[in-house]
Structure 1
C-alpha cells in the first residue's frame, strides 16, 4: 500500500463543504489501496469552540473507516477580529511543526489550501526532492478575500500574494476545484502540473418526491448551508419578494442571530428557520422542497459552490445567484435558473417567471440523471490516482 498524509483545517465531525470534500478524498484513496492518515485540528468549526468530546486535549488520535486521524491543538475562534483569526491559523501551524519534528512523514502529502499560512507551513517544512507535495486549492486566496472586502491592496495583501506564489511553486501537483483556479495558477506557472478536482458528492441518494401540493399558489424555496458573510443570507431575506414563495433556511453561522431577529420582528416575511441539522437528515428534508437557492453576496473568482453538485444528486432544481463559473455549470447541464449576482431585482424577476408546472417530477429526475453521469466522484478519483 502507498502511504499518503492529508493535511487539512477541516474534517468530520465538522460540517460543511471543506470537511466533506477532504473526507471523500481520504475515503476514496483508502478504497484504492492507499494507507491514508489525516492531520487536522481538534474539531471546532463553525462554532469556533473545540467540540465537547475533545476539550482539554492537546492531541487526539483515532482510527475511523481504516483512516488514521491525528487531531492537533488549535486556538479555536470564529471571531470577526482579524488578529484572533490569524492567531487560530498560526496556532495550528505551530502544532503542525511540532508534529513534523517528532513523526515520520510519508513520501506523498496532500495539503489543503486555504488557509494560506497553514499550507505555507506544510510546504516550507516538508520540501524535499524525495517527497511529492500535492496542493489542493479550493479557493483563490488572497484574491477571494479582496473580492469579499476582507483585504485591501496593501502591504499585507502583497505579502499574502507572495505566500500564495511560494505555495504554488513548491507544490509538485496542484488540484483545483474550478477551471478558474486552474487558469489562475497557469497564468503564474504555465508548466505547473495541475488537475481539475471538483467537489463531487458521495452519498446515498433518495429519489425525488413525485408530487407536492402548492399552498396558496406558493412554492417553497430552501437554502441550506453556512450563514456567513460571503453567502449574504441576511440581505437575501430582506430583498426577496414573498408574493409567491416561502423561504426555508437550514444552517448556522455568523449571521444566524441577525436572521432570527429579522424573522421575529417582521411577520410579513414568509421565512421559516429550521436551525442546523445533520447532513443525512438534511438530505431527506431537502427533497421535500420545490427549488433551492445558491447565493453569494459577491462574485468570487475561482469559487464554484459544492452545493451545485450535491443538490443535482438530489434532483433539486436550483436558482444560482453567485456569478462566475457556477453560472456556466447551471446552464450547461440545465440544472435550473441563473440570476445576475448582486442584482436582487433580477433575482425576483427570475423567481416570478418560474411556473409551478416547471417544478415537476420528470424535471427533477432529469437533473438527478445528469448528475450521476457528469458529476461522478469514482471516475474522478480513478483519474486522480494516476497523477498521485
Structure 2
C-alpha cells in the first residue's frame, strides 16, 4: 500500500508520528511524508534547512518532502498563526506540484493542532483519488478555548464549521482515546469514527547515555520527580510549582522539569522569584536520552490544565512513562487519570489541584520501595497489553484497508 503521511511536524522534531511512519514501513507500506521545515519547539529552523523552496530527503527507508513554512519564532500569537497558515497554503498549493506524477492509495493526516492542516490533504485527495484518514489528536475548537488561544464565541463557532467540513470529507476518522469518540462522531456526519490509541516508543537498540548535566544530579540520594516534554500553556506548570512549594525542601524531593516551550522563560523567572531551589530546569535534550533519564527517576510526572477537551486526552508521555516501569504522579482529569488508575501505575490528583498533587507526592514517599517498584511493573504490563507499537501498527494498516474499501464502495 502506498501511503502519504501529512503532518506539519516530523523528524527531526520529536513527535509520535516519526515512529508510526517507521512502523508502517516495517508493515510493508511504501511511505512518503509531506511535512514542513523543522523548527519546533524553539521556533528557529534546524541547521541544514531553509525557509523557501521544496526540500526532499531519505530517512529510515522512506522519502520526506518538505514544503515552505514561516517558522513559529520565539513566541506570540501572530507568528504562530503565520506558522499554521503557511503550512496549510504550502501543502494545498505546492504539495500537488511537489508530489506530481506520484500515486497514493491513502493519505494519512497526523491531526495535531491545528486540524486545519488536513485542508491540504483534502486537496491532495481530490487530485490523487486516494482515501483519506485523519488521526485526531486534539479536539478543535475545544482545545483553542481550553488553552486560551481563542475565547470569542463567534470565532469558535466559525472554527467548528470548518472542522465539521474537514471531518466530513475524510473516509475514516481515528481518535486517540475512547473519550474522543462521541464528540468527534457528533461532528463527523456520515464519516465513520474508530479509536486508535497512540503507541509507545519503539525500542532503541542502543539507548543513549544521560547528558553530563543530567548524569551529575545526585540520583539515589534524594527523591527525583521527573517531568519530560513540552513546557507549554496546557501543562499546568503553575500548579506544578505550587505543589513543589507546598511539599517544600525538607522531605528531600527534587523536581526535574526537562524540556522547553512557550513557558520556559516564565518558569525560570518563577523558580528564581519563589526561591524554588528544589525545582531544576536543565533544558531540552535529544529524545534518545529519555529512557536513561526515566530509569534514574524515582517518579515520573504528567500534568494538564482543567478542561473537557484535555480531560478526553491521553498525553503521549503517559505511554513512555508506563513503558519505563517507574511510578507515575499525575495531575489531570479524565482519560489520562483513568488509564493510570486502570494500570495501577501511580497516584493522581485532579487537574490544577496543587494541594492534591502535593498530597500524592507525600503519599508516594510513604510507600515502600517494593510497593513503588510494583507500581512501575504494573505500568509496564499495562503498556505491553495496550500500547505495543508493533500491534498498533498492524491495527493501523487494518484501518487503512477499511478506508480504501469504503472509498471503492462510494
Same fold (TM over 0.5): yes
Instruction: Please state if 1:40 is matched with 2:35.
Output: yes
Give the match for residue 287 of structure 1.
295
2:10, 2:63 → 1: CA distance? 12
Give the match for residue 337 of structure 1.
347
2:319, 2:51 → 1: CA distance? 38
Give the match for residue 94 of structure 2.
98
Q: CA deviation at 1:42?
A: 0.8
Q: CA deviation at 1:127?
A: 3.2
Cα displacement string for residues 263-304 of structure 1 (whole angstroms, at most 9, x for unaligned residues)? 334445411222111111122012111101100122314321
Stretch deviating more after TM superposition (333-342 or 239-248): 239-248
2:52, 2:187 → 1: CA distance? 42
**Structure 2 counterpart of 1:376, from 380, 388, 407:** 388
Q: CA deviation at 1:125?
A: 5.0
- Unpaired runs of 5+ in structure 2? 208-217, 401-410
* Counterparts of residues 33-182 of structure 1 (less than 5 Å): 33-55=28-50, 57-78=52-73, 80-96=75-91, 97-101=93-97, 103=100, 104-113=102-111, 114-124=113-123, 126-127=125-126, 130-182=129-181
**Residue 138 of structure 2 aligns to a residue in which SS?**
coil
- Unpaired runs of 5+ in structure 1? 207-211
Contact in 1 for aligned 2:25/2:31 (Cα 8 Å)? yes
Inter-CA distance 107–52: structure 2 relative to 1 (3 Å threshold): same
Quote the RMSD (CA, aligned, Å): 2.3
Q: CA deviation at 1:234?
A: 4.2
Inter-CA distance 268–155: structure 2 relative to 1 (3 Å threshold): closer
**Residue 254 of structure 2 aligns to a residue in which SS?**
strand
Contact in 1 for aligned 2:176/2:196 (Cα 8 Å)? yes
1:169, 1:56 → 2: CA distance? 33
Contact in 2 for aligned 1:148/1:298 (Cα 8 Å)? no
Contact in 2 for aligned 1:135/1:173 (Cα 8 Å)? yes
2:275, 2:153 → 1: CA distance? 44
Q: CA deviation at 1:346?
A: 1.5
**Residue 233 of structure 2 aligns to a residue in which SS?**
coil
* Counterparts of residues 189-228 of structure 1 (less than 5 Å): 189=188, 191-204=190-203, 215=221, 218-228=222-232
Contact in 1 for aligned 2:255/2:279 (Cα 8 Å)? yes
Inter-CA distance 152–195: structure 2 relative to 1 (3 Å threshold): same
2:56, 2:3 → 1: CA distance? 16
**Residue 122 of structure 2 aligns to a residue in which SS?**
helix
